[in-house]
Chain A
Amino acid sequence: MTAVIQIEGLRKTFRTMRGGARVALNGFDMTVEAGQVHGFLGPNGSGKTTTLRTLLGLVRADGGHMSILGQPAPGALPEVAPRVGAIVESPQFFGNFTGRRTLRLLARAGGVPAERVEAVLTQVGLRHRGDERVKAYSLGMKQRLAVASALLKQPELLILDEPANGLDPAGIREMRDLMRELSAAGITVLVSSHILGEIQLICDHVTIISRGQRVATGPVSAVLSGFDKGEYRVRVTDLARAAEVLANAGLPVRKEEDHLVVADVGDSAWITEQLGQRGMWVSELTPLTPDLESVFLQLTGTMPEPGAPKQVDEAVKSGPIDLGEQP
């Protein structure tokens, strides 16, 4: 596979006029291969947007190496920019321009044929609203316009920072479908988002960043399986007796209010067999596979605790952990 984005040892420290310093990126690494829909996750202030801004030449790195489409960044950005579509956070457009005019001006500035404007307006669902002023757009419509601007160039690489911001449920689903279409068309997509369920649905690969360092990377399935403890939820009438039986068999059992959680289960049929032999009939036997949200919270140390709100800088700071990077 060809690396479309390669980031190695990226470092960035923001310094204030008063001599203060905040380390935003501390040796961050990321690789995005061609054709991937790559999710980029991290808590607030973890360095996601700084990474994307640095990659796109908006922020100067203090150290490290980056390349986009095989060209060094930011040095060769002017050459590769026509092949890269990007939105960073919520881009601002002129409120007095219509959506169509906004895109036409961008197309003109970037030397893109004017016909592309109608194509992308249709693609993002703004064809009939293109002649309205941007200031009359809802947040979701502005976001669609931003995505349209990124698609104008028919990019090989699409970088989207929080593209689902402000979108309604239908908009989120359309964005998901759009990204799948783009991926099917061979476009590599790097998308950062806080909507982890969406990332799990859309992305095939993921990189998780915490306090400026990579804490996990790899295929989504591999990242999730790294946290799969083989747990099952078991529901029976007599919880105490069932717990005793399973514990005696050497399985770690945790008793919840109305069910048991059993870990290290190799074959779920074994549970039904053991309990059935003792006259206990299982009403529910569900594998507890981790989702991206729980893995993310665990990896970044941002799992909320009752009565103790997590502060922004309380995310986990650890060395990079490779969770099943594909060969």
Chain B
Amino acid sequence: MNLVLAELSRLAARRFVQLMAVLLIAAFGVTVATTVAGSHRPTTAEWDQAEQEVQLAEVRLEQLRRECEQREVSATFCDAYLERQPRIEDYLFGVFVFSQEIDELTYFMIAFLALFAFLVAASFVGAELTSGGMTNLLLWRPQRLTVLGTKLGTVLAAVLALSVVASVLYIGAFYAISEVTGVPGALDGEFWADIALTVARGLGLVLFAAAVGFGAATIGRHTAAALGLIATYSIVWEIGARIVFEVVEAGRPDQYMLSSYIGAWMDGDVSFYDRYVNDQYELTWVHAAAVFAITLAVIVGGAFATFRHRDLA
């Protein structure tokens, strides 16, 4: 417990962490400010106009469905036209509609939190390995795995706590904006369950990013090693290998890309088209979880295995 509290103090006192926290707040602040600036409470005339648009859209959709049924044998196929009924907020322009826009905004928040977690976790161990702080700590607690494990656990817990607080404040802020100068939209139980699931998946992604950053910096003994890993992976694999797969006409290149699994994790599943066999294939969050687990085993497991035996400068 003493070690955890000491590590927490060190983490909170790091200038880099403080800077990243300020950037996080600033990015969220800018997003909130631009949303406020780009939204207004709809006037009565805008409401009336939107209601008329909805009625017209309903008529158009019903007409399309009938035409579909005349062409298609399956009525079920044509019911797709009725899956999402037109809503009044679809026709309110320049108005922030919480129910429609919060999904994308949440994705932005998670991307920023993941980047924050990656950099903070990498620098937390990288800077200590570079500066000799880790050596100093090991003179006090000559238990390498305990020290490294505590450091990882502390940074993961801190990042998770910060992400939970940031998510609540962020989503709460946009809800408040919609109440004051926009429209909340249709907020039923299903909506809140969906947004909760998106945030929960996002938090998982944030923890994954933090653990990968920490592991890479530990293996490379430097914060820059984690940054190098990401840059190399992105350029060599996500871009370079994708081009090579294209040239050699290899099938299903997306299933070899981590970005595909990040998408699958966040959305629950993603479909890709394999043009060589003219077929679709699907990656689900279960596949993503397996890929994440293997990645963590290699990078974080490797970090602990090498740190246990390596000579420390």
Contact = CB atoms under 8 A, between A and B. Distances in A.
Nearest to B136: A91
Nearest to B146: A78
A93 B141 contact: no
Contact of A108 (B2, B132, B135, B143): B2
A92 B5 contact: no
A282 interface: no
A101 B5 CA distance: 13
B290 interface: no
B144 to A, nearest CB: 8
Chain B interface SS verdict (over half)? helix
Contacts of B137: 109
B56 interface: no
A89 B137 CA distance: 14
B135 A59 contact: no
Interface stretch (A50-58, A181-189, A222-230): A50-58
Interface in B113-143: 131-133, 135-143
A interface residue count range (under 10 / 10 to 19 / 20 to 34 / 35 or more)? 20 to 34
Contacts of A58: 135, 138-139, 311-312
Contacts, number: 68
Given A94-B133, A96-B13, A110 B141 contact: yes
Most buried by A among B3, B13, B139, B312: B139
Contacts of A86: 139
B309 A60 contact: yes
B138 A94 contact: no
A59 B143 CA distance: 13
Contacts of A109: 2-3, 6, 137, 140-141
Interface of B: 2-3, 5-6, 9-10, 13-15, 131-133, 135-143, 309, 311-312
Given A108-B2, A149-B136, 11 more contacts: A57-B138, A57-B142, A58-B135, A58-B138, A58-B311, A81-B140, A81-B142, A90-B132, A94-B133, A105-B9, A110-B2
Q: Which 10 A-B pairs have the closest CB atoms?
A: A77-B142, A109-B6, A92-B132, A92-B131, A59-B311, A58-B312, A110-B140, A105-B6, A91-B136, A57-B142
